[in-house]
Amino acid sequence: MIARAITVSGGLAVRNLLLVRRMPSVFLPALIMPVFILVATAGAFGGIGAIPQLEDSSYLAFTVPLATVMGGGFAGINAGMTLARDIQGGFVDRLVASPAPRVVLILGPLIAACARSLVTTTAVLAAASLGGVFPPGIVGTTVIYVMAALFAAATACWAMGVALQTRSVQSIPLMQIVVFLSVFLSVAYVPRELQTGWLRVAADLNPVTRILEASRATEFEGASWSTLGPGLAASTLLIVGLGLFALAGLRGLGRR
């Protein structure tokens, strides 16, 4: 049973990744947007890098974790988009009627989202290198990849949960808006110490803040458990919570 689940999940993950080549209009924006966010944010708000709290680093370097985490978010959203299309196209019905365990329906795209986040993170790091900001050593770079992949897993669970609950491609904007807001209501543009009012409160409560801070602190100060721990804990919390949301949608499959 477990061996079959792993095999089918792997097959679905490969199918999800192959769709990148078959439907580039759907997946290319998810690759381009994180690089666009890096370039546009660092270019437009580059002047912020001159203030004392940020003067030790360039604003481009400060923006790298925002773009890699956002890239993970796009990879996760793609998992939900694909699942919504598969539900409407009847592919999911055929899979549910097969002897494969249902959980593969979310495990396969989840693995594909994490794999796709490796590509978007690489694209962002390559673009940053062109701007003179190079990856921060093996451990630091690994942490940046891991944080983006964990966020991809969390957003994939969210997007697939929405797809399973609504069973319609019309729910794609909902998947996107929530992911965008979760990132922009964190420490997207300045550190928490510099935020004011309601945004500071939102960033304090937002788990994505810890993920971005873990990635950013590792980039600037090197890896340490004090910064990595909250990021890993926040990612785990999101993946478990949103994973349960996706599983709830999976249980309802075939009932309606």
Binding site for another protein (CB under 8 A): 29, 33, 36, 39-41, 43-48, 50-53, 173, 181, 184-185, 188-190, 194-200
Cα–Cα distance, 69 to 209 (Å, whole number): 11
User: What's the maximum distance between 2 C-alpha atoms anywhere in the chain?
Assistant: 61
Residues listed for the chain: 256
Of 17 and 31, which has the nearer Cβ to another protein?
Answer: 31
Least distance (Å) between residue 255 CB and another protein: 28
Residue 132 has what DSSP assignment?
Answer: T
* SS3 label, residue 150: helix
> Would you report the helix, strand and coil content of the chain in percent, each value rounded to 5?
85, 0, 15
The answer for residues whose C-beta is within 8 angstroms of residue 111's C-beta and 6 or more apart is 9, 10, 13
Measured in whole angstroms, how far is the alpha carbon of residue 127 from the centre of its chain? 18
Cα–Cα distance, 104 to 83 (Å, whole number): 12
How would you label 22-33 residue by residue, b for 16+ Cβ within 10 Å and e otherwise? Answer: eeeeebeebbeb
Least distance (Å) between residue 197 CB and another protein: 6
Least distance (Å) between residue 215 CB and another protein: 18
Least distance (Å) between residue 182 CB and another protein: 12
Of 93 and 204, which has the nearer Cβ to another protein?
Answer: 204
Cα–Cα distance, 166 to 172 (Å, whole number): 10
Cα–Cα distance, 98 to 68 (Å, whole number): 37
